[in-house]
A and B are shown apart, each in its own frame.
Chain A
Amino acid sequence: MKNTRQKISFFVVLMAAVLSIRSAGAVLEIDITQGVAAGIPIAVVPFEYRGSDPPPHEVSKVVGSDLRRSGRFETIAHENFLNRPHDHTEVEFKDWRLIKAEVLVVGRVIRMALDQYRVEFRLFDVFKEQQLGGFRYDVSGNKLRKIAHQIADFIYLRLIGERGAFDTRIAYVTLQVIDGERNYLLRVADSDGYNPRTILKSDEPILSPSWSPDGEKLSYVSFEKKRSMVYVQRLKDASRELVASHDGINGAPAWSPNGRTLAFTSSKDGNPEIYLFDTQTRLITRVTQHHGIDTEAAWSPNGQHLVFTSDRSGRPQIYRIRRNGTGLERLTFEGKYNARAFYDPNGERLTLVTNQGNGYRIGVFYLDSRGLHVLTDTTLDESPSFAPNGAMILYATQQGGRGVLAAVSSDGRVKQTLRFQKGDVREPAWSPYNQKL
């Protein structure tokens, strides 16, 4: 283990606060605090713009930021470019070999009509002097960032061989205290933190947003009625439903992979247990049976198992159980505190909060080897969730006494923090893939 770590750290370049993605009026900054020197060198040429008014978003800038944030690419600085082509007729491959670009992205944005844009881009392999792909999209201005994320997803897939997760969203909770008054917001933003929209506003705590697998609903815990209850809210029309308001606590909602069942925690029978709520029959079944704390259920991708946190051994540890309540098994033994596990999309790993004696950190637990790898070195990390492609883990941590969101690649090599301008940010949850444009 130690050996592997040393090898990894050999390849890792620390770039504290070097790369900072800013824009006027941005709600957040992304600091890549740790990157990988071995990323693919890519040149993203600023797209040509044909139109009178400047476009609402700079597509090529978003593409470059996405690729750089993934840690799998090294974007080459624009000032090194020898020329700036915008389509295949203008590309001179030797110019790009000279500056050691392996991959080249060119394109243009054309204003077709009022709020109508055409986006074209092409991706080239510099050494093979070959086009790897190219697309044209016709969209309105408010879709330009989305198209940029889709272009980044295409490039990621073509070059890394895995689906990208840039065209996805994140949900999170912010807390601002103004003149002693608390203001909680449940928000949904693009995966890079832009375009935040408020889903729920409350002066009482909001916790544990969980995405439905179709990405159309969020379940969450709200204290708006002075104690914790579980709600389901449709994003499109903000319609919502109270689904768990039993005596005691209600919390930790988690959607089954087929979207039919909601697992949640309730102490309605005396102490916190895991229950399943069938959204079609409205029936509730109990999964766990223990007088200790059982909470924080998460579904395996095949929908057959749940993992959850229990203190039945005296300290919180992760257990696995079949959805029918049989086959209980303790999974974690390393460390005195393991909690809030979340499955990766392949069902091979869990991400969790672990304390091995030096703080609450984000770890990855391998279900086959039962090995637990600690990925972060901070002390108050919480709420980890995998990106839908399993490449990154989004979590909450603290920086300068303030809650911030952070992401770490699931191999621990790439780290970044997302700093919002105001308030405390917590409880992030990465969305599933978007179903439609």
Chain B
Amino acid sequence: MIKRSHFVLATVLSLMLAACGGDKGVIGEEGDAGATGATASGLSEGSDTSGSELGAEMEQLLNTNKIYFEFDSYNVDRQSQRVIEAHSQFLIENPNVNVVLEGHADERGTREYNLALGERRANSAAEIMIAYGVAPGRIQTVSYGEERPAALGSDASAWQLNRRVVILR
């Protein structure tokens, strides 16, 4: 199980690196904490203090602050569920920390539908956190629809990176 999740994580990370290393521009945005390079996936503020308590896998899950979705879908896949659970665990252990879940869509289809889709994605993540025991009042969701792409370009690799929920603490 650990092996498998490491493999998936590595895939996600290499995807991100590939996206950043290619000729595709990555737009920096306040939501995607420091999203201007490979650092987008790492080094969120909380990890310094809690790193010693957590296993390596937990730390890596916590350092992942984006989960990705299939086209026109708000289903959270298994690996993303583990990411959300790790963040939920962190929230439960740190009751003074709140979370914002930002839902995004790729550019295909209509803007208003994508605004709704982004919200459904953020809500999907929120529901998992609530099921895990995080108080609903500590979770805020916001949808940017297709308005804030993480990757520019009109191809499958950009679209894949743009269908996401960003977890912000």
Contact = CB atoms under 8 A, between A and B. Distances in A.
Interface centre among B72, B110, B112, B153 (most CB of A within 10 A): B112
Contacts of B148: 205
A360 B116 contact: no
B116 A272 contact: yes
Interface string A199-242: 00000010110000000000001010011100000000000000
A208 B116 CA distance: 14
B72 A315 contact: yes
A293 B154 contact: no
B112 A295 contact: yes
Interface of B: 27-28, 72, 107-113, 115-117, 119-120, 123, 141-145, 147-148, 153-154
Contacts of A226: 142
A-B pairs with lowest CB-CB distance, top 10: A205-B147, A272-B116, A340-B110, A293-B116, A252-B112, A339-B110, A295-B116, A227-B142, A296-B112, A249-B119
B119 A272 contact: yes
B4 to A, nearest CB: 30
A293 B120 contact: yes
Contact of B28 (A180, A309, A360, A427): A180
B147 A208 contact: no
B109 A228 contact: no
A340 B112 contact: yes
A382 B154 contact: no
A340 B115 contact: no
> Secondary structure of the A side of the interface?
strand
Interface in A286-302: 293, 295-296
Interface of A: 177, 180, 205, 207-208, 221, 223, 226-228, 248-249, 251-252, 265, 267, 271-272, 293, 295-296, 309, 311, 315-316, 337, 339-340, 353, 355, 360, 380, 382-383, 398, 401, 426-427
A3 B10 CA distance: 53
A401 B19 CA distance: 18
Contacts of A177: 27
Contacts of A340: 110, 112-113
Contacts of A223: 144, 147
A309 B107 CA distance: 17
A293 B111 contact: no
Contact of A382 (B111, B116, B141, B142): B111
Given A205-B147, A271-B120, A316 B107 contact: no
B78 to A, nearest CB: 22
Contacts of B144: 205, 223
B107 A296 contact: no
A380 B108 contact: yes
Given A251-B115, A398-B154, A353 B147 contact: no
Given A228-B115, A316-B72, 12 more contacts: A177-B27, A207-B115, A221-B112, A226-B142, A251-B115, A267-B119, A271-B120, A272-B119, A309-B112, A337-B109, A360-B108, A427-B111
